[in-house]
Chain A
Amino acid sequence: MTQTRRHVLTLLGAAAMVPPAHATPGEVETLIRALTGASPLRDGLIRLELPVLVENGNTVSMRVSVANPPSPVDSIHVFADGNPLPHVAVFRFGPRAGVPAISTRIRLATSQTVTAIACLRDGTRWRDSVELLVTLAACIE
C-alpha cells in the first residue's frame, strides 16, 4: 500500500489525540476526594503562598501554613494539576512539630492551579488553591 498524503495526515491526527502525559484537574480532584473521604472539604484555615506570575518554573518558592488550627494538623498535601505528576509533596507532622508551616521550592511545568489540603486531627479538611501563570516552564524536555 502506498502512503498517500491523506494517510500520513490521518496518522498525524491520531498521534495528536494521544492523551497528554500530565496530570489533569480531574485527577487531582480524585486524589483530594480519596484524602477527604466523607468529611466536607472547606476553604480557608490553610494558606498556600505562591507567586501568581512565575518567571522560572524550575524553582518556585512555596509556603504552606495553617494559622491557629483548632486541632493539631496531621498532614498537608500539595497537588499541581498541570505537572507530569499530580503530587508535589506530602508533609506529616509529629508530636515535636512546631508551627504547621513549611517553605520549599517546587517545579511547575506550565500555567496551572496548585492546591494544598490540610488534614486536621479532628477530621476536618481544609483547602487553598493558587492559580498561576508560568512564563518559563520547568524543563521536562
Chain B
Amino acid sequence: MDRVLINVPKQVTRGVPFEIKILVSHPMESGQRRDQMGQAIPRDIINHFVAMLDGELVLEADFFPAISANPFLSFSAVAEKSGILTLAFTDDKGEVRTETAAVTVG
C-alpha cells in the first residue's frame, strides 16, 4: 500500500449525499498465480475497508481476490456538520493503513 488517493468535494451541503473516490496502489495478488518456477505466489490483498465520518459508519467492505489490482472505490456519504473522514484498509498481513480527509459543510 504505497499510495492512497482520496477525492472528497471541497465543500459539501448539509444532508445532501456527496461522492468519495478512493484509489489505492496495491497489487491485490490473488493467490491464484504461479511464478516462473511454478511456485504459487501467496495471496496478498486488501481484504477489509472501513469508512467512518466522525466516528459514525459510512461504509464497510469485504474485498476478495476478484477486486482488481490498484483498487478503485467510489461511494457516497451524508454529513450534517464538518468533520473528519477516516478510511482504514486492512491487508492479508494484518497491517492496517489509516487515512483521513476533511469534510467541510458549507
Contacts and interface: CB of A to CB of B under 8 A. Distances in A.
Interface of A: 58-60, 80, 83-85, 87-99, 101-108, 138-141
B63 A89 contact: yes
B69 interface: yes
Given A85-B65, A96-B78, A98-B18, A103 B73 contact: yes
B5 interface: no
B74 interface: yes
What does DSSP make chain B's interface, helix, strand, loop or mixed? strand
B68 A84 contact: no
Interface of B: 17-19, 30, 32-34, 52-53, 56-69, 71-79
Contact of B76 (A80, A85, A101, A138): A101
Contact of B61 (A83, A90, A107, A139): A90
B74 A102 contact: yes
Contacts of B68: 58-60, 104-107
Nearest to A108: B66
Contacts of B57: 92-97
A98 B32 contact: no
